[in-house]
Structure 1
Amino acid sequence: MGALDKGYKADELIRLAADKSVSARNELVENITDLFLTPGGRLNEHERALMNDILSKLILNVEQHIRRELARRLADSMDLSGELVGMLANDKIEIARPVLEKNKLLQDAQLIEVIRNRTDAHRLAIAIREDVSAEVSDELIEHGSEDVVEALINNSSAEISEASMEYLVAESKSLDRFQEPLLSRQDLPPGLAFRMYWWVSAALRRRIIKEFEVDETLLDDAIEMATKHSIQQAEEEDSVMDKALKLVRKLDDENKLNTTFVLQALRQEKVNLAVAGLSQIAGLSVKIVWRAFRERTGESLAVIAKSIGLSKEEFTSLFLLVMQTRSGGKARATSLLKSILTMYNDIKAANARAAVRHWQRDLGYQDALTDMKEAI
């Protein structure tokens, strides 16, 4: 015997829906909820189709609070028809929210329609669903507000395409709120994490270096060398740095270029020569090394130094000499030195090398860096 034969007659439900009294509407909700959800009122296939058809015809003719109660109680039901769940998902957000957040019957096409045509509150409800597809994520990123996009990034079960991830990383340069959620995602490629290194906070920088390990055998040396050659050609347009680079390359060819040379150049206040020397040793653009020299915290300098195997004592000398070049010789050992040395001890050499190799390869980002001045 089916559920409708047990007393829940279709005619009775229609009569209740037409009744404007609060008691009739409440009874309608209770009856439908019982039919869909309670073990004793489970519907067979024919009854389920009939009830969905009735609800689809009546849903827009009942008051908002009735629709809201229906949506809340049937949000995760698998007995609803695609038509009915789509109607609820496109309703006012007070009604649509539980369905958008929970119902697994909603297809990507339905979700995309809601994203394009409904409110940002609807998009936010979709952004926190389980297992959001890459296609739906793309639409949320295109149409949603910063709140929606941040919620999506924080949703670890949401799939984000490679192109969208690159876009979000670029956006994180000006939108701090995206930075930590992005770095918390397990699917963020290490290369993009190392790119973010240049604009995130000190705490997040340390997190990047500690957590994003890369198998160096996966890095393409041919691309890397092409990038370095391209960067070097651009640098040689600068006559002052050109002379310094030519000298250090000659020394390198003769196996005479080392950290001692860089430290001695700094002691003699030949900053361009020190920058050229360190860039040659690390295989980095002089723009990157200039930037590392200019950072007050010294964290980029620590990564570069660790990547080329400097001892703690050598790095201490390098850091203090760079501090002096920035302050006109008035730098003093402060708590900053203690902090950076603690970080230096914590950095894994393999992680530092991986970071530097990504910086070497990322020609597009190198070209986007702000031009550095010739001297400190």
Structure 2
Amino acid sequence: MENISDLFLSQDGRLTEHQRMLMTDILHKLIADLETVVRGELATLLMEGGSAPPELLRLLANEQIEIARPILEKSTLLRDVDLIEIVHNRSEEHRLTIAMRARVSEQVSDALIEEGGADVIETLLKNPDAKLSGEGMEYLVAESRRVDRFQEPLLSRHDLPSELAHRMFWWVSAALRRRVLVDFSSVDPTGLDRMLQDATRRAIASHEPGDSVAERSVRLVARLSESGQLTIGFLKCSLRQQHLSVFVAGLGRLSGVNATTVWRIFRDKGGESFAVLCRSMDMSRNDFASLFLTLAEARGGQHVRPTSFLKEILDLYDAISVANARAALTYWQRDDAFQQALDDVGDVG
């Protein structure tokens, strides 16, 4: 094997093309009879030589992982169809090695997502040279709700769309929430009108006809707004008196955000989403701090966070730009239907 490989891989032109074809055929027939250690050495030699025929590389890439690893890691002669076949038919170690390649196409990534376990997917997400399809990215964002280890690698990817990042906001940790709010801001101007129209339709559809508490609250804050009496002070007073529908309606009126999204923010105990809403209104830092503390008290004194938590929220409030806050709200309003669907699934589970 060493003698044949030495001849085959030599660069001094000792073999004609016909002879190289014969040598390839000989090696192809020998591979099945060689010991594992020898096959591994052959795989390394072929990779180092750089002139190996693709058919030999494909054969060795399908071997056990000790033999296949150097080829799966480094060979640029393997086609996507070869890699996808290996993903579907070989071991998890083969898939893990492919996920670490210097170049992974969308098609190969889709196959890895379909067949691979959490280790493979996390490795793929951490590979900056791996391309993910839109469908694959959206699936992994949804999966990140139950698989925490996907969250940080997803939010670290340069190709994660802002819309999907803001979708993840509702289930990631406080630290990752801050990353979403600071790093992901852009809204496609061409899609903005459509987003807001969708949000408006959902907001209208969420209100049943009749004289409900919510509708009476909306009418009340409308009158107060027209007379200039809808203020931050009024919102704090509504909270202290536990008029939550009035508070939500007033906050929605002042911010221009639909009731569905405001209620979602009100129920979110983390506080970051409330900071986003207030920042979008360009509320002063002092007004925000006062309103935030009043909200915490209204939710129940036993749930009030320590002083250090208020400092963290205020630091976040200072770090978020008004533009980023408004972008986040645009995505959240557009995404209400999706979030509601996830909540429904969670409730059933």
TM-score, scaled relative to structure 1: 0.83
1:23 alignment partner in structure 2 = none
Q: Distance in 1 between matches of 2:227 and 2:130?
A: 54
Which one scores higher on RCO, CA 8 angstroms, separation ≥ 6? 2
Between the two proteins, the alignment pairs up a number of residues equal to 343
Kindly state the Cα deviation for residue 136 of structure 1 after the two structures are TM-superposed. 0.9
Structure 1 position 132 matched with structure 2 position 104: yes
Aligned equivalent of 1:315, options 278, 284, 288: 288
Q: CA RMSD in A?
A: 2.5
Post-superposition CA distance 1:119-159 (Å, at most 9, x none)? 11111111111221111111111111111111111111111
After TM superposition, the structure 1 = structure 2 runs for residues 1-376 of structure 1, keeping only pairs within 5 Å, are: 28-29=1-2, 31-37=3-9, 39-40=11-12, 44-75=16-47, 77-215=49-187, 217-236=189-208, 239-252=212-225, 257-328=230-301, 331=304, 334-368=307-341, 370=343
8 Å contact from structure 2 (residues 162, 185) kept in 1: yes
Shift in alpha-carbon separation, 1:77–1:368, aligned structure 2, 3 A? farther
Kindly state the Cα deviation for residue 48 of structure 1 after the two structures are TM-superposed. 3.1
Q: Distance in 2 between matches of 1:333 and 1:94?
A: 54
Shift in alpha-carbon separation, 1:105–1:215, aligned structure 2, 3 A? same
Report the identity percentage: 48
Post-superposition CA distance 1:21-66 (Å, at most 9, x none)? xxxxxxx23x344345555577553343232221111111111111
Q: Which moved more, 1:229-238 or 1:105-114?
A: 229-238
Q: Distance in 1 between matches of 2:51 and 2:294?
A: 72
Q: Distance in 2 between matches of 1:96 and 1:62?
A: 15
Q: Which consecutive unaligned segments of at least 5 residues does structure 1 have?
A: 1-27, 372-376
Q: Distance in 2 between matches of 1:329 and 1:119?
A: 52
Q: Which moved more, 1:230-239 or 1:182-191?
A: 230-239
SS across alignment from 1:302:
helix
Amino acid of the residue matched to residue 134 of structure 2?
E
Kindly state the Cα deviation for residue 225 of structure 1 after the two structures are TM-superposed. 2.1
SS across alignment from 2:299:
helix
TM-score, scaled relative to structure 2: 0.89
Kindly state the Cα deviation for residue 262 of structure 1 after the two structures are TM-superposed. 2.0
Amino acid of the residue matched to residue 136 of structure 1?
V
Amino acid of the residue matched to residue 293 of structure 1?
F
| The structure with more radius of gyration | 1
Post-superposition CA distance 1:192-231 (Å, at most 9, x none)? 0010011111111111111113046344213312322222
Q: Distance in 2 between matches of 1:252 and 1:333?
A: 34
Q: Which consecutive unaligned segments of at least 5 residues does structure 2 have?
A: 345-349
Q: Distance in 2 between matches of 1:241 and 1:43?
A: 86
